[in-house]
Amino acid sequence: MKQSEVLFRNVEEVMSFDPINDIYEYELGPVNYRGAIKLSYLIRTLNRLEKEGKLIVCLRGFSLPDEHEWFIKEDLNKFFVVGQKGREYLQRTEGKRSNLYTYEMNDREALVKEIQALYKEANGLLKKKKSEWVDGQISEKFTNTDEDKTIEELQYNKVFLTAFLHNIGNLWSGKKTSPLISATYGKKKKEIARKFATNSLDGVPRNNGFITLGYIPIEERCFEVLTEDLNKELERLGVKWYNDIHQEVMLLDGIMPQRIIGVFEVFQDSPIEKFILNPWVYKMFLENEHFNYKRGININQENFDEFAQDLKYGAYILENESGRYNKRFDEDYYHRVPSVRRRWN
């Protein structure tokens, strides 16, 4: 069975709305025949590009048990303009300003202190989780901060340790403010994402939920970590870790809006699903715009700041040809987001 057929096998209806005329007050309606045909073609194109090693098609299951209907009726317009960010980007409810993880990325002394603290916590959790599947300690060589270590190497070490701790889960003290979000890819991605969306990792669905459908260009992968690669790096550092059963990809900062195709709505007590097509993709279909997977979907972000803050974000990301940057809304300057590619041995 083709991947496009697997993804949409249980979809009963494809919905969308006009992102220009209905940007504030929208009403979901069925996608017309032309839009449905073009969606099918787009999914086939993404699957072909994935086979060619140019991108990864990924899914992220999530739920909003107390705000499910509100999200559908009031927040979809904002979601498709802003994207889906890591918890690091949320407003702090206690009202205290918290610096972004990039704040001191170019301060060597501060970076060294952060690496040492993350390293200590990582090895402490490894010791706690030791079993037939988990063994070893991350080598002290990883914390080598001699002057011959470049700032880029230190930045990579910080992000790597953060990714490992994020992968561990709620045992990590920093999980609630992680700059990473997790998604899944591969042949079983829909099944895995649905379990997370309905909170049914033990096989018992507990709520309705959503699954974000997006993609990540990987020809020059810079801002994501595959758990498969994480495990290889851990092995190099002397650590045996769990197999990648969820085929997880950890995305630094979040899923960019220009790479979100749409959202599946899934239900606790029914296999039937709805698919909400990104209205900017639908606009692209109706206006016969060419899709460039590297550039992504054309989105009018004039309302970005307003929408992001409505969604409770206190910070945001800027991505352009020179790289990726982030800042809080109350800051004057951007901080460069470091690449997570290791270019040395």
Cα distance between residue 37 and residue 32, in whole Å: 9
The full set of domain ranges for the chain reads 3-336
User: Would you state the pLDDT for residue 298?
Assistant: 96
User: Quick one: how far is CA 42 from the chain centroid?
Assistant: 21
pLDDT tens per residue, range 285-307:
999 999 999 999 999 999 999 99
User: Would you state the pLDDT for residue 162?
Assistant: 93
Span 81-102, mean pLDDT? 80
DSSP 313: B
- Count of beta carbons in the 10 Å neighbourhood of residue 172: 18
Alpha helix stretches (DSSP H) within the chain: 3-7, 33-51, 68-70, 76-82, 108-128, 151-168, 189-197, 227-236, 279-286, 304-310
Question: pLDDT at residue 344 above 50?
Answer: no
- In percent, the amount of the chain with pLDDT more than 90 equals 68
pLDDT tens per residue, range 107-158:
999 999 999 999 999 999 999 999 988 999 998 888 888 888 889 889 989 9
Output the six-digit token pair for 195: 């379990």
pLDDT tens per residue, range 206-243:
899 999 999 999 876 678 888 888 888 899 888 999 88
User: Would you state the pLDDT for residue 246?
Assistant: 78
pLDDT tens per residue, range 261-277:
999 999 999 999 999 99
Query: pLDDT-derived band of residue 55, with 50, 70 and 90 as boundaries?
Result: very high
Query: pLDDT-derived band of residue 45, with 50, 70 and 90 as boundaries?
Result: very high
User: Quick one: how far is CA 178 from the chain centroid?
Assistant: 11
Question: pLDDT at residue 2 above 70?
Answer: no
Output the six-digit token pair for 115: 């690496």
